[in-house]
Structures are given as C-alpha cells and as structure tokens.
Structure 1
C-alpha cells in the first residue's frame, strides 16, 4: 500500500460521521473470540434498559470492541498490507464504531435515576441547612 493510500484510509476511519450509513458487521473476531455482533447489539438495544445481570457483560463487550478497534487501527497504520486488506480493515473499524455508538448510550435510565436521587439529596441537605440556620431544627425535633 502506498503512503498516500494509507493516509486516505486512516482519514476515513477518523472522519466525523464515518459511521453514518455504516452497518454493524454480522460477526466479528474480537480478542480471539467470534462474536455475533449485529445480533448482540440489536438484542441489547431492544431492551428499555440493560438489566443489572447483563450490565457487566455489555461493558466487557464494549471494552473488548474498543481494544479490537485500536488493534485494527494500529495494523492499518503500521503493517505492510495490501490496499484491499486496508479497505476491509476500514470497513470493520467503522462497523465497530457503529456498534460502540449503538451500545454507548445504554443505561441512561440509571444515570437519570442517579441524577434524580442526587437532586433529592441536595434538596434535603438544603432544607436541613435552612432549618438549622433559622433555628427551627430543635422545634421540629420535638414534634
């Protein structure tokens, strides 16, 4: 592969919006294991939220996908490979990015729940402070 071809392929990988219109690969080898990636993503996304029992599995899959993406990008940057193989690497990297984007925003309900709990705790602390500052804490404790 010529240096300018490598540069073009790397630019495609790093381009913002590269995943627009890209498809998630049906299957992919990730860290030595074969993963039915498209099925995994659609199965995970079909739920309203990821159950606690599955959360570790999804997080591990995302971690492995990020690691695999990085390895493939390094291969594209450094290895002496033909242009056709570089094209396949770009497609797989963009497919991994697409899967990571789809899996990345899962669990927002937990974040919202945590934010609500933090807000309630803040209100409670504020009310406690106001009662103490106004001297009402002792009178409410007697009731």
Structure 2
C-alpha cells in the first residue's frame, strides 16, 4: 500500500461522521474467537438493566480490538483491499461502541464532559480544515 492510500484510509476512520449509515457487523473476531456483535448489542439494548458488567467488559474488548486493527492499518504491511476491510471493521466497531455507550444512565456531569469533548473535537476539525493543517502539529498544506 502506498503512503497516500494509507493516509486516505486512516482519514476515513477518523472522520467525524464515519459511523453515519454504518451497520454493526453481524460477527467479528475478537482475540481469535468469533463474537456475535450485532445480536449482543441488540440483546443488551433490550435488557438494559442488570447488564452493566457485561457491557463494560464487551466495550473493553471492542476498544482493544479497534486499537489493534487501527495499529495494523497504520503500520502493517497490507494491501489496499485489506486496508478497506480494516476500515469497514473499525467503523463497524465504532458503531457498536456508540450503541453500547448510549446504554444505561449517565450522570449529568459525565454527559456534559462527553459533550464538551465532542464539541472540542468538532471545533478542532473545523479549524484544521479551514486553516489547511495537515496533521496534529499544525503544519500547513
């Protein structure tokens, strides 16, 4: 894979609305074992109460799996097709994590913190685009 192709794929993963329209994968492999992700998300979403521990454990596993796939996308010797598959898997994991994050009640303070972080991220993305920054270091295009 060429560096510019890798950069395009990474940008797709990090895009603000990457999960819009994305579906939760039916099944993914987590630590070498198949995991029925879609049915798990819908199952705990319907139950909502009493599943807190199970949901927290699943979120940890999914975040770890997302990170491993992202690292493979960033640094691995992979083809463009493999990169595309990784991007789709990462976006699907993000979609599932978003669904799991919305479960349960959060305190007002936690909700405000999350909103503030999201607002900051959107503002930085806007500034980066408007000012023509290439990366986090503020280098101009």
TM range (shorter): 0.7 to 0.9
1:21-51 CA distances to partner (integer Å, 9 max, x unpaired)? 001100001122211000001111123x331
Equivalences for 1:13-32 in 2 at 5 Å?
13-32=13-32
| Paired residue secondary structure (1:24) | coil
1:115 corresponds to which residue? none
Equivalent position SS for 1:46: helix
2:68 aligned residue: 71
Aligned to 1:83: 80
Alignment RMSD (CA, Å) = 1.3
| Stretches (4+) displaced over 3 A | none
Give the superposition deviation at 1:107.
1.2
Q: Which residue of structure 1 lines up, in the alignment, with residue 135 of structure 2?
A: none
Q: Cα deviations across residues 84-114 of structure 1 (Å, max 9, x unaligned)?
A: 0000000000000000000002111x647xx
> Matches of residues 4-15 of structure 1 in structure 2 within 5 Å?
4-15=4-15
Counterpart in 2 of 1:45?
45
Aligned residues: 108
Q: Secondary structure of 1:26's match?
A: coil
Matched residue SS, 1:29: strand
- Gap regions ≥5 residues in structure 2: 109-141
C-alpha distance in 2 between matches for 1:83 and 1:44: 35
- Checking the alignment, whether the CA contact within 8 Å between 1:50 and 1:106 is kept in structure 2 is no
TM-score by length of 2: 0.73
Larger Rg: 1
CA distance in 2, matches of 1:50, 1:28: 25
| TM norm structure 1 | 0.72
